[in-house]
Amino acid sequence: MREKYDEEIKTELSDEEIDNLDVNAMIHEQRIREKSAEKEKRKQQRKESVQSVGRYFSDAWEAFTRGDVWVKLSSVLMGAGYFARKQIINGLLVMLAEAGFIFFIAFYSVPFLADFGTLGTVKFESVFDPVTLQNTVNDYDNSFLILLNSIISIFVIIVFVIFYIANIKNVYKLQLDKESGKHINTFREDLNELVNDRFHITLLTLPVIGVILMNIIPIFVLVAVAFTNYDQQHMPPNSLFTWVGLANFKSLFSNSITATFGYAFGKILVWTLVWAVFATFTTFIGGILLAILINHKRVKLKKMWRTLFIIAIAVPQFVTLLLVRNFFADSGIVNTICSNLGITRLLQNIGLVSTSIDYIPFLTDPGWAKFMIIMINIWVGVPYQMLISTGILMNIPSDQIESARIDGASNWQIFWHIKIPHILFIQGPALITDFVKNINNFNVIWLLTQNVFITHDQALASSNAKEVDLLVTWLFRLTNEYYNYKMASVIGIVVFVICAVFTLITYTRTIKGDREEDFR
C-alpha cells in the first residue's frame, strides 16, 4: 500500500512536467478498470455464497440417499456409521452428544418452548395458608425465564442441526474412504489432527462459546424484549409480560400528551450525532497538532513532554471524571476562582450566564454542560491521539519530505500536503471506528452528569431523558433506574442500526479479506 501511496505523491509532484497529462489519463483509466474489475468480483462472490448455501443442504441429502445402510442408520443413531468403520470412541462420543441433546430438550426445554408463544399465562399468586401460617405460592410462569430459556434452547437446537448435518456428511465420507481403501484414522490420529490441520477448531471452540454466551444470546434476548411489554408494570416474577409486536417502535417515533418518547428520541439523537462528530474531530485534530508540536525538530526532551501528557490518561477515567465533576461543580473550586477574578460577573454582563444565579453552571445548564463535556473529552482523548499520531508521523518516509523540500515546498506546504494526507490515509478507517465508539461513549457522559445535571424540560423528564444524554446513557437509565426494558431495547436496536450503517461504510475498506495477502 505504501508503494501505491508513494506513486500518487510522485505524480502529484511531477505535475509541472509536460507529459503529465498522459500519465494522469493513464492512471485514471487504470482506476476505472480496477473499479469495474472489483465490482465484477463482488458480484461473483455474492453468487457463490448463495450457491454454497444450497450446496450445503444438497450435499447432506446426497450423503443420506447414496449412503449405505450404516449411513442411513446414522440419521437415527448418530454413532452407527462410526461403529461400522471401527471408530468406536468417535461413535460413543457422538451417541453421548445425541443422548444429551434429547435429554436436554425433553426434560428442560419443552416446558419453556411450549410457553414461548404467550410468554406465560399463569400469574403469580400467593395465598396465606392459616394452617401452616405461611404464604403458599402457586406454580406461576416467569415470563423472562421463559424468554431466556427458549432462546437458549433454540440456539442449542440450531447448533445440533448443524452438528447433525456435519455428522451425516462425515459418516458418508468414511464409507467412501473405506470403499476406496483409504486409511481410516484411529482415535489417536483424530486427536492429533486437532493440533495440526484442524488446529483452528481447538483454538476457536472456547472463545466462540464465550462469545455466544456473553454476546450473542444477550443480543437475541434484548431484540426479543423490544417486541414485548416488559417494563415496570410487567415485571416478573410478580406479573407477566407478553408479545406486543411493533408497538414500542411506534411509540419511539410518535408523540402524544402522555408519552413523549418521539420528542426525546429526536432531541437525543441529534445531540448524540453532534457529540460524536465533535468528540471525534476535536480529539483527532488536537492530537495531531500536539504530536506535531512535540515532535518539532527544535523541541528538546520530547520523551518527557510526551510522558507528562500520558500521566493525565494513566489515571483511570472514573477517578479523573468524578474529580473534574467536582472541580466544575456549582459551588466548586473553579467557580470560586472565577468569581474572585470577576469572570462570573463578566459572563453575566455579556449574557452567557443568567443574572439570577451567582455561579457559572458548568455542568448544570444544558448549553454549558454540552460545551464542557466536549472540552473535557478533548482533555481525555487528545493524549491517546497524540501517541498514535506520533507513531504515524515518524513513519513518514523521509525521502518524501526531503524531495518536497528540494522542490521548494515550505513547512506549511509539507504539513498540509504530505503529513496530513499521510495521517488521514492511515487513520481514515480508524476515524469512523472512533465515531462509532463515541456514539457509544458511556463513561464520559455518565460520570460527568449523573446526579449532577437535572433537566427542566418536562417533556424530556417524562420519558426519563436529559438534554446531555446520549442514546446509550438514556438506555442505561431506562433500564437501571426505571426498569423500562422494552423501550431500552428499542433504543438499543436503533443505536445498532446507526452504528452498523457507519461501520458498513468502512467495512469494504477495513477487513475486506481479499487484500490481506498483499502485506506478507
- Enumerate residues 333-362 that contact another protein by CB under 8 A: 333, 335-337
Residue 79 φ/ψ, nearest 5 degrees: -85, -10
165 binds another protein (CB under 8 A): no
Smallest distance, Å, CB 312 to another protein?
Answer: 4
420 binds another protein (CB under 8 A): no
Helix (H) or strand (E) holding 116: none
Q: Which of 37, 314, 341, 357 is close enough to bind another protein by CB under 8 A?
A: 314
Among 466, 472, 478, CA closest to 496: 472
> Of residues 106-145, which lie at the interface with another protein (CB under 8 A)?
144-145
Q: Rounded to an integer, what distance in angstroms lies between the CA atom of residue 347 and that of residue 342?
A: 9
Measured from the CB atom, the residue of 80 and 494 that comes closer to another protein is: 494
Q: Give the contacts of 66 (CB within 8 A, at least 6 positions apart).
A: 172
Q: Which of 139, 256, 297, 351 is close enough to bind another protein by CB under 8 A?
A: 297
Total interface residues for another protein by CB under 8 A: 118
> Of residues 11-30, which lie at the interface with another protein (CB under 8 A)?
none
Which of the 8 DSSP states describes residue 243? Answer: B
**Binding window for another protein (CB under 8 A); candidates: 132-140, 173-181, 264-272, 315-323:** 315-323
Residue length, the chain? 520
Q: Which of 183, 200, 356, 458 is close enough to bind another protein by CB under 8 A?
A: 200
Provide the 3-class DSSP secondary structure of residue 135. strand
Instruction: Spell out the SS3 assignment of 8-75.
Output: HHHHHHHHHCCCHHHHHHHHHHHHHHHHHHHHHHHHHHHHHHHHHHHHHHHHHHHHHHHCCHHHHHHC
215 binds another protein (CB under 8 A): yes
Q: How many CA atoms does the CB half-sphere of 446 hold within 13 Å?
A: 16
Provide the 3-class DSSP secondary structure of residue 196. coil
**Binding window for another protein (CB under 8 A); candidates: 35-43, 86-94, 239-247, 289-297:** 289-297
> Of residues 375-414, which lie at the interface with another protein (CB under 8 A)?
379, 383, 387-388, 390-395, 398, 401-402, 405
Q: Give the contacts of 126 (CB within 8 A, at least 6 positions apart).
A: 135, 136, 137, 138
CB atoms within 10 A of CB 307: 11
> Of residues 169-188, which lie at the interface with another protein (CB under 8 A)?
none
Q: Which of 74, 360, 476, 487 is close enough to bind another protein by CB under 8 A?
A: 476
**Binding window for another protein (CB under 8 A); candidates: 31-39, 106-114, 123-131, 209-217:** 209-217
Q: Which of 99, 161, 277, 323 is close enough to bind another protein by CB under 8 A?
A: 323
Smallest distance, Å, CB 34 to another protein?
Answer: 14
